[in-house]
Amino acid sequence: MDVKDRILIVEDDRSIRNFFRTILEANRYDVTLAENGQEGYSLITSLCPDLVILDLGLPDLDGMEILRRVREWSSLPVVVISARSHERDKVEALDLGADDYITKPFGTPEMLARIRAAIRHSRLPLQTGGGRSGTFAAKGLLIDYDKHRAYIGGQDIGLTQNEFKLVGLLGKYAGKVLTYDFLIREIWGPNMENNNRILRVNMANIRRKMEKNPAQPEYIFTEIGVGYRMVEPDEERSEQ
């Protein structure tokens, strides 16, 4: 990889800006900084970065407003910065088309994983519903989309049809948080929205089949108040 991915950071807090710049430059990203919303939005339009890290609390323009404007014409990956406890903000940003969020205080490996996943997803060919064929592999888990089965260490774990749909969907967006509403809509349709119980029950069954210790999952993580996230896939097999 010789061409560096360009990341634009829109953040009014100088120490946070510099923190991101240091970490991201050390990880071979090309970094541009904006310290307010106007500057940020104008750089998004002129620079066409590979990813934007967007603070929601900016002095001049609301981060949500920037996201809304960007999504009118672009699907470029946007990761928002959110306070840890603000679940509603996170869900709202995801609903508005943010790809992910990172919360303060930032853990470096986690932040880099979010950025990698968001850039990776922006480069996947467009998928049409559940028609994907192929496989997903992570830490001994294998999802076989053609056979509609999932295996751990080569053993079929016996998912039901809906359980497989859930696992398959999380695998398709691995590394990225999927909201409760999104998952429910995709699996059970619009009439079941807000019925988180059906999702929780299915997830509990999946974890019993999949995780050694369902209370400490290795594959599917809970993002409290927001949704679920599948572990990132094993190192990718070159370009495909």
- Interface contacts to Ca ion, rule CB under 5 A: 12, 55, 57
In sequence order, what are the beta bridge partners of 53? 9, 79
Token pair in block for residue 17: 């800006």
Q: Report which of 74, 16, 19, 17 is spatially closest to residue 41, judged by C-alpha positions.
A: 74
Least separation, in Å, of the C-beta of 16 and Ca ion? Answer: 8
Alpha-carbon distance 176 to 90, whole Å? 13
Residue nearest to Ca ion (CB): 57
Q: Give me the half-sphere count of Cα atoms (radius 13 Å) on the Cβ side of residue 238.
A: 0
Token pair in block for residue 71: 């999504």
In sequence order, what are the beta bridge partners of 137? 142
Q: Report which of 31, 40, 36 is spatially closest to residue 12, judged by C-alpha positions.
A: 36
Cβ-based nearer residue to Ca ion, 56 or 178: 56
Cβ-based nearer residue to Ca ion, 25 or 62: 62
Least separation, in Å, of the C-beta of 109 and Ca ion? Answer: 23
Cβ-based nearer residue to Ca ion, 30 or 65: 65
Least separation, in Å, of the C-beta of 173 and Ca ion? Answer: 28
Cβ-based nearer residue to Ca ion, 65 or 186: 65
Cβ-based nearer residue to Ca ion, 106 or 188: 106
Least separation, in Å, of the C-beta of 63 and Ca ion? Answer: 8
Least separation, in Å, of the C-beta of 107 and Ca ion? Answer: 19
Residue 239: DSSP 8-state: -
Alpha-carbon distance 38 to 44, whole Å? 10
